């Protein structure tokens, strides 16, 4: 069995493999990042490391709805970034064989390659590596992990 952290972006459930999640941080203080694109909410001090906080719904063009007060910190193998999402949900145990590829017409985001069905509703699984690769052009504007 694998485990997936479920969260919402608007009304749509998404998930991340828990191996890609280092921690969920409760109500972190956000610090301004000079000259950062609008989809960065700021930066947090995470165990003495400065991490930019990506407003994932805004980055994906899903509007500026309310955000959960918690942020999802990706595991260091995935990258040094925190994600602001609409709502942080729960962890589900899933059978890897239940994952299905997303058909192009069903695709909600270019960063999801697979989906699973829970209670007859699709959960789109984000690929953190693809998401972070898309942010590469902005890394020099966020200060990277050495400081913001």
Mean of pLDDT values over 30-43: 94
Identify the bridge partners of residue 7 per DSSP, sorted by sequence position. Answer: 14, 88
In a domain, 127, yes or no: yes
pLDDT > 70? residue 141: no
Q: Is 146 part of any domain?
A: no
pLDDT score, position 3: 94
Question: Is 147 domain-assigned?
Answer: no
* pLDDT tens by residue, 53-90: 999 999 988 876 789 999 999 987 767 899 999 999 99
Instruction: Name residue, tokens 């690769």.
Output: 133
Could you tell me the CATH number of the domain that includes residue 126? 2.40.50.180
| Rounded distance between C-alpha atoms, residue 70 and residue 133, angstroms | 23
Structural domain total, the chain: 1
Q: Does the residue 67 lie in any domain?
A: yes
Q: φ, ψ for residue 139 (rounded to 5)?
A: -60, -30
Cβ neighbours of 101 (radius 10 Å): 9
pLDDT at 113: 81
pTM: 0.84
Residue 143 is assigned to a structural domain of this protein: no
pLDDT tens for 76-132 read 776 789 999 999 999 999 888 888 888 765 555 678 888 888 887 889 999 888 888
Does residue 119 fall inside a structural domain? Answer: yes
> Range of 36's domain?
2-137
Residue 81: inside a domain: yes
- pLDDT at residue 4 above 90? yes
């Amino acid at each position: 069995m694998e485990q997936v952290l479920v969260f919402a972006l608007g009304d749509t459930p998404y998930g991340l493999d828990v191996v890609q999640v280092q921690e969920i941080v409760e109500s972190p203080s956000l610090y301004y990042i000079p000259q950062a694109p609008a989809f960065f909410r700021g930066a947090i001090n995470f165990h003495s490391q400065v991490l930019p906080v990506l407003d994932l719904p805004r980055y994906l063009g899903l509007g500026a709805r309310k955000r959960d007060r918690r942020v999802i910190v990706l595991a260091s193998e995935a990258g040094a970034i925190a994600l602001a999402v609409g709502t942080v949900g729960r962890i589900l145990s899933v059978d890897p064989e239940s994952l299905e590829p997303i058909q192009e017409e069903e695709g909600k985001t270019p960063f999801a390659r697979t989906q699973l069905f829970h209670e007859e509703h699709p959960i789109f699984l984000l690929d953190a590596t693809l998401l972070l690769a898309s942010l590469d052009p902005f890394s020099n504007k966020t200060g990277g992990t050495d400081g913001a």
